[in-house]
Chains A and B, each alone.
Chain A
């Protein structure tokens, strides 16, 4: 973030205002703030005010309707107890373990695949202009459409399994989407399909930004292609890794629609993520306090990742 408008070149005509200036000119001075005020007020009320409201609700005994008598941290205690209740697994236990599996695999595979494809595409490929949009178009689709498409593709009776059976590979078996222990991995597949092309584009932009001279110098020194990428290119891409990680992490925690469309929650809620847990408990199971507490936990997770990042991005850097 550059600081174009340092204090001394600030275009605000403040220095022109005298104490006795007319209301009109004072209004003129305040105009920028007046223009910004509604947006800022909306953000304060509907984002931060609502977050506090949700936090408040999580400490009440709200069921179907909000109740505003504080009854302590019962909702959190229940979630905490459920965290360790793995036999039979509670929905919350399932949701957070799924979040762990999904989050890790989704981020890791997207980064690895994105980088791999970007490096391949960067080898002076003929037809790059045609391949890039093909890798990237899933990002334009909604999670619902993605879910519908993959639900069909992964359905054992209709999709891939059936097709391979028809081609003669009758022992092929792939029913993850109907299997409560594996259904979360189908969410990973569909999620990776959707986002990895975009991560590829981020890495490709990063690769194109690297100074060719550095590469030439390394090659003259006899570095192999592999060494070149491992020792020079990938370390140079560190900022891209960070941005990509942030994008993927917050997409992963927010994922909700994909699970709904792809699995309808999976057999017995086995594909739930915390976002699905929150929605179900708040709107369907009439456990508003528990739902709110889970939303607060989601928010805290994202905050822990995003705030340090935003802070480092927005810090006024000396030029």
Chain B
């Protein structure tokens, strides 16, 4: 592509015009880099300032006496609603929700993709199409029925606990959220694996079949060892989406101790009792953002690939 700027073809403009051109391009790029970095920078520096410094100083100034106080307070002391024990509990809630939900939905997606490409049956496109459309629905259109079902499952769980002493996870908000995220994540995970396995040579499968390998043997011995990249992409995509979800979290675990991180953060920021501690709010927001940012820094390339695959076309 970028032949436009090859020096050989641009001799007519002269060096000075070219230099100005380059300066403008770099200037614009730098300006936009500032635009994207600014909010994060402000959040970060604010989270290391004292309240006094925030009130009297400049938003963009570096902290004069950096302090970890706000971070410690956000983690262990700040008030979420009426409980003042920091956000650490909610952070773990999110982890407890994300890990099983990601694993289950990814594994199911891998199996679905395998069936939908290598063991096709009549109507496979329709099945896939129906699952794919589920990715795009506004979740508002299923929010209420799901709330009703989860509510009755919860009541059933109470009955069950009274009878047997164990509720089998029914009515537990974290379990509910895992279930919800698996259900509404299946479309995406299936899409990822289906598109990936589509390009996987069918001849290999046929050869293995001739050798007598079974459905699951082929999956385990041939497909899985070759699926590492798409596993990474899918896990990152699901992790980011589920960690960042707010709608389901606030609808099904919006109050109480089981709140995930996003809901807790929103509560911290919108608590209006007493003095608003901006530094603590910013530290809490940073803590909520860190896991996904970390994933992005470590595996940015796979992150982008997942987003692209989520746009249906690769």
| Chain A interface category by residue count | 35 or more
User: Within 8 Å of chain B (Cβ to Cβ): is A243?
Assistant: yes
B119 CB-CB contact with A under 8 Å? yes
In the bound assembly, the distance between CA atoms of A125 and B29 in angstroms comes to 10
CA gap between A57 and B145 in the complex, in Å: 9
Chain B residues closer than 8 Å to A307, beta-carbon distance: 133
Chain B's closest residue to A54 (CB) is B141
Known: A123-B2, A225-B4, A239-B313. A142 touches B145 (CB 8 A): no
A283 proximity list for chain B (CB < 8 A): 251
Cβ 8 A contact of B1, one of A46, A139, A215, A309: A215
Q: How far, in whole Å, are A117 and B31 apart by their CA atoms in the complex?
A: 11
Which of B4, B108, B117 is within 8 Å of A228, CB to CB? B4
* Inter-chain CB contacts under 8 Å: number: 299
A248 to chain B: closest residue by CB = B311
Contact A12 B121 (CB under 8 A): yes
A193 CA / B243 CA spacing, docked (Å): 20
Query: A142, B244: Cβ atoms under 8 Å?
Result: yes
Q: Once the chains are docked, how many angstroms separate the CA of A1 from the CA of B116? A: 13
| A49 and B130 alpha carbons, distance in the complex (Å) | 12
**What is the interface residue range for chain B against chain A?**
35 or more
- Tell me if A101 is interfacial: C-beta within 8 Å of chain B: no
B14 to nearest A CB, angstroms?
15
- Cβ of B177 < 8 Å from any Cβ of A? no
Interchain nearest-CB distance for A72 vs B (Å): 19
Q: How far is the CA of A193 from the CA of B140 in the complex (A)?
A: 25
Chain B residues with CB under 8 Å of A295's CB are 138, 140-141, 143-144
B119 in contact with A142 (CB, 8 Å): no
Interface of A is mostly: helix
Residue B20 lies at the interface, judged by CB distance under 8 Å to chain A: no
B65: interface (CB < 8 Å): no
The answer, among A9, A159, A298, for a CB contact under 8 Å with B140, is A298
B binding-site residues for A, Cβ under 8 Å: 1-6, 9, 25-26, 28-29, 32-33, 35-40, 42-43, 46, 54, 58-60, 108, 111-112, 115-121, 125, 127-134, 136-146, 148, 183-184, 186-187, 190, 198-199, 202, 205-206, 209, 214-216, 240, 243-247, 251, 262, 265-266, 269-270, 278, 281-282, 285, 288-289, 292-293, 295-297, 300, 303-304, 307-308, 310-313
Chain A contacts to B: CB under 8 angstroms: 1-2, 4-5, 9-13, 28, 31-33, 35-36, 38-40, 42-44, 46-51, 53-54, 57, 66, 117, 120-125, 131, 133-146, 148-153, 158-160, 162-163, 166-167, 193, 197-198, 201-202, 205, 207-208, 210, 212, 215-216, 219, 225, 228, 239, 243-244, 246-247, 250, 253-254, 256-257, 260-261, 264, 275, 278-279, 282-283, 288, 291-292, 294-296, 298-299, 302, 306-307, 309-311, 313-314, 316
Give 11 new A-B contacts, CB below 8 A, not counting A32-B121, A158-B54: A2-B199, A13-B209, A39-B108, A39-B190, A50-B146, A51-B141, A54-B141, A134-B36, A145-B285, A299-B141, A311-B129
Q: List 23 A-B contacts (CB under 8 A).
A: A10-B120, A11-B205, A11-B209, A40-B127, A40-B131, A47-B142, A47-B183, A54-B142, A121-B29, A122-B2, A124-B6, A131-B29, A138-B36, A141-B289, A143-B246, A144-B244, A144-B285, A152-B42, A158-B278, A193-B39, A244-B311, A295-B143, A302-B137
